[in-house]
Structure 1
Amino acid sequence: MLEIAQSSVTLTSPQPFIDTCGIYGVVDTCLVATSDDEKQTLQEGVGPLKDGVWQEIRSIMAAFLRGCGYEESTSPPDDELRRYMASEVASWNVALSTSHAAKIADTASHFIEAAYAHTSPKHRRYVACYTAYFIYADDLGGGNLESLQQFPRRFISGAKQLNPVLDRLAELVRYAHELWTDTGAVAIATGTLEAITAFYTEFTTRTMIVKPGALRYPDYMRLRSGIDPPFIAFLFMRDWRDTAESYVQLIPDMEYWIGAVNDVLSFYKEELEQETNNYVHLRAAAEQAPHLTILRTLAEEIVQTTRRLDRLVEDDAELATLWRGYVQRFLEFHVKAPRYRLLELGAVQ
């Protein structure tokens, strides 16, 4: 998930958020390298990463994007959605700084503008809120771990959550069936419970050493913490097709695809941050292999999955249009979002 740094200024209304960071382009001002020296360091591959490591990561990323058939594009901003999310985050009544709130609202809006542009306005608002709640929830382990631990039991019993944002998440999930198929609504509900539990597990096992040979553990954690089933379910509005029979066989590969793509395209910025409890490093520890070898292998596995899915959708024109468009927009989000630093890396060639 997305890490958002806290600061000390409390957000009390949507207006300071809008005035400070604007409706569009908040990520550009809040999440990129802040000095010419830092940008030069990233571009030259010196600093946190050795030059050879930097070059190899860039080579892997560039080959990966080519293999997935990525074509440069820019999705237009949805100003109405951004105003809605500014007001939504401002109404949470939790101790968020202006910049933290701006980053949450902007990241959620940017993601939906790109990856879910094919959905209706009400669906986009739902997915944007869901995304924002999870960005916030990912930070709770550092200050309110109990709220994550108790979320599933309180959701099942209908009890009030220990955090007002988690209350909103629980309420949102309960009416998923109104917008998505029954299959999709179940994926949204179960995927939410598994992801919140995985966040708790990730935080409480940060110092755990992965045992060599525990080969399924990295996939176990990735499948739960990645929130992949809900975000694939969000693709298929009930208004598009009322049941899932025409694409249900593809769902496992689709869920794998979005989680694994994020693992690859977030790797560079995580290496700069010296993060080692991600999928690539967990798998490297379990397989006793160099982490860049795992990164390259994973990238090749995803390219094969991309091609397989492309073949599987080709006999259904509507499904092919939806899925192929999603692939491009999902990749676009990661390439264009400054937080992943892929343009600085030179991954798009």
Structure 2
Amino acid sequence: MQAAVVESVGGPFTIRDLDIEEPRPDEILVKITASGICHTDLSTRRAWPQSRLPMVFGHEGAGVVEVVGSAVTTVAPGDTVCLSYRSCGVCRSCASAQPAYCETGIRALNASGTRTDGSSPLIRDGSRVFGNFFGQSSFATHVLAYESNCVKVPASLNPVLAAPLGCGVQTGAGTVLIVLQPAPGSSLVVFGAGSVGLSAVMAAVAEGCSVIVVDPVGSRRAVARELGADAALDPAEYDDVAAAVRDITSGGTHCALDTTGQPAVVSQAIGALRHRGTLALVGIGTTAQFDIMALMTKGIQVRGVIEGDAIPQEFIPRLIALHGQGRLPVEKLITTYPFRDIEEAARAAVAGEVIKPVLTFG
């Protein structure tokens, strides 16, 4: 197999020849046909510990099942699949249909660089290469995945469209459709018009909501308008973004969604809400300060969200159905790159030149 390997902290993706182990009883060997590049891949490679390098990232894979372990029953060789996040299936959260909050932990199953026993299935010249990122490490021609993160999809679905469904689209659309559940005619403001934010826009428009987008990049604001947003604001043009949103919505939005993780933006999102409004936080950040009295006196709810609260096996088919109805035009977010050009794709994503780069494998 070949994989895009990161060999130093913050270093480039370098295509290397690797060996991959045969699947264990609970594992699924998938030949990758497309893989989305997510902001998480790019931010994580900048902070990944040197002790866990070299490493293969990637967590929006799509492909074809080649071999299944003896305990696997949900997919078979020849099935086309979309890969998502991994969960244990047995903890309290998983048992209560909330696998995104698996108590085994995001790190242990999705971001440790190894299987839970500390091993990695990837080898180069006799030495271990770390992987198993989100139970896949899809910046590679082949991966080992699991039943919890492997979703069968129609063979007719273009893998370039299928790949981003497993994380970015699922997170944005799921936050709207599963968590916020805005009523038709209600309003939503989305801070950040990347793939997650614009997926939220598409889902909200599909539900008949009025949507405002806030983003400093003009091309992304234009896409937001094309997708049905009623307004797209450049924050640099306003002294008080929250006040501008309240003016547009006659007192504030019913819901807000922050994809940035930036404390100042989170404060703007809170300020943009009307009484009893709800803010969903999906952007990765560190700390933020809230005006507690503003939350209390307005009855505002703040909700952290992982992967849109989605159960991939249930929600990804729903996303595919919405796309088939023309209500989730994911293709408008995508720019494709051949796998060999992964570093250029990553550069373009960081520079804001593209919204959702998707790698293709010939």
* Length-normalised TM-score, structure 2: 0.28
* Length-normalised TM-score, structure 1: 0.29
Q: Highest relative contact order (Cα 8 Å, sep 6+), 1 or 2?
A: 1
Q: Hey, which of these two has a bigger chunk of helix by percent?
A: 1
Q: Hey, which of these two has a bigger chunk of strand by percent?
A: 2
